């Protein structure tokens, strides 16, 4: 229910903003891109070397770093990509981070292929379940649906947000997807094969558009 007053409107609904980003461990940079053309809007050096994944929820953006030297989750300012918060992580496997409008998830390339839900404020792990697949590299959500992708099978999966069980499987979304990313109603992915970004039909994962970008993308994701 909305409350109308003389000088404005108060509503319990979250307004959407739809902004998309990707990062590269080849350039160690993070980019904001146009959601229609993939053109770069902003380029900044990544907070640390070798960024893995990037993604967000409603009006909040996060990045994951995982290497032998550093394991950390970072919240970024959505405009200038500076650090708002950085939290050490116990997850040593590569993977990504992203979520629906209200819930934040991360994937981890451990031997048991766990998926995790994170508290968006503290970045603490609040739920962990083995996905049954150690190569679910990417993770993302549209406004209310959660997805992962598999770097070896080239497939994507819609998952239950509480149990992480597979609801739908989408085959061969791109050659070797390193991540999936989404805004409210639009789905994207990236691949190190040809250093390419893709937009997909959000219902079928059919490729709508693609662009070779010139640097290896390791993560893609948006805020909603």
| Residue 12 confidence (pLDDT) | 45
Q: From the centroid of its chain, how far is CA 105? A: 9
In a domain, 210, yes or no: yes
The whole-angstrom separation of Cα 156 and Cα 143 is 17
Q: Is residue 114 part of a domain?
A: yes
- Separation between Cα atoms, residue 94 and residue 96, nearest integer Å: 7
Sorted by sequence, the CB contacts under 8 Å of residue 220 that are 6+ apart come out as: 20, 21, 22, 54, 55, 138, 140, 179, 180, 181, 188, 189, 190, 197
Instruction: Output the pLDDT for position 11.
Output: 39
Mean pLDDT of 204-224: 97
Q: pLDDT tens-digit profile of 82-91?
A: 999 999 988 7
pLDDT value of residue 127: 94
Alpha-carbon distances of 120 from 16, 93, 157, 176, rounded to whole Å:
18, 20, 23, 29
pLDDT above 90 covers a percentage of the chain that reads: 78
Q: Where are the alpha helices (DSSP H) in 129-223?
A: none
Q: How many CB atoms lie within 10 A of CB 128?
A: 14
Task: Taking residues 34-59, report their average pLDDT.
Answer: 96
Q: What is the model's pLDDT at position 112?
A: 66
pLDDT value, residue 13: 53
The pLDDT assigned to 108 comes to 84
Euclidean distance between CA atoms 192 and 66, whole angstroms = 18
The total number of structural domains in the chain stands at 1
Distance CA 200, CA 206 (A): 5
**CATH number, domain containing residue 165:** 2.130.10.10
157: how many CB neighbours lie within 10 A of its CB?
21
**Domain presence at residue 7:** no
Phi and psi at 115, nearest 5°, equal: -110, 150
Is the Cβ–Cβ distance between 56 and 221 less than 8 Å? yes
Express as a percent the part of the chain with pLDDT over 70: 90
Question: What pLDDT band is residue 111 in, cutting at 50, 70 and 90?
Answer: low
- Whether 4 is in a domain gets the answer no
How does DSSP classify residue 93? Answer: S
Would 8 be classed as within a structural domain?
Answer: no
Residue 1 located in a structural domain: no
Mean per-residue pLDDT for 169-175? 96
3-state secondary structure at position 5: strand
Residue 178 pLDDT > 90: yes
pLDDT at 160 over 70: yes
The verdict on residue 20 lying in a domain is: yes
Q: Note down the domain range covering 202.
A: 14-223
Say if residues 177 and 150 touch (Cβ distance below 8 Å): yes
Residue 216 lies in a domain: yes
For residue 219, is pLDDT > 90?
yes
């Amino acid at each position: 229910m909305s409350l109308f007053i003389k000088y404005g409107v108060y509503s319990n609904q979250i307004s959407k903003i739809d902004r998309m980003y990707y990062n590269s461990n080849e350039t160690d940079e993070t980019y904001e891109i146009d959601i229609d053309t993939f053109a770069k809007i902003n380029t900044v050096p990544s907070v640390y070397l070798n960024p893995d994944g990037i993604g967000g929820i409603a009006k909040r953006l996060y990045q994951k770093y995982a290497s032998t030297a550093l394991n950390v989750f970072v919240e970024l300012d959505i405009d200038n990509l500076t650090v708002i918060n950085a939290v050490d992580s116990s997850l040593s496997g590569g993977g990504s981070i992203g979520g629906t409008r209200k819930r934040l998830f991360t994937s981890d390339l451990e031997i048991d292929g766990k998926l995790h839900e994170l508290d968006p404020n503290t970045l603490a792990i609040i739920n962990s379940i083995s996905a049954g697949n150690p190569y679910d590299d990417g993770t993302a959500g549209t406004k209310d649906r959660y997805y992962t992708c598999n770097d070896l099978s080239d497939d994507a999966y819609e998952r239950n947000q509480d149990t992480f069980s597979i609801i739908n499987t989408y085959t061969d979304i791109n050659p070797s997807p390193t991540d999936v990313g989404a805004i409210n109603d639009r789905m994207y992915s990236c691949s190190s094969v040809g250093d390419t970004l893709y937009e997909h039909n959000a219902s079928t994962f059919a490729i709508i558009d693609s662009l070779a970008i010139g640097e290896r993308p390791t993560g893609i994701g948006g805020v909603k």
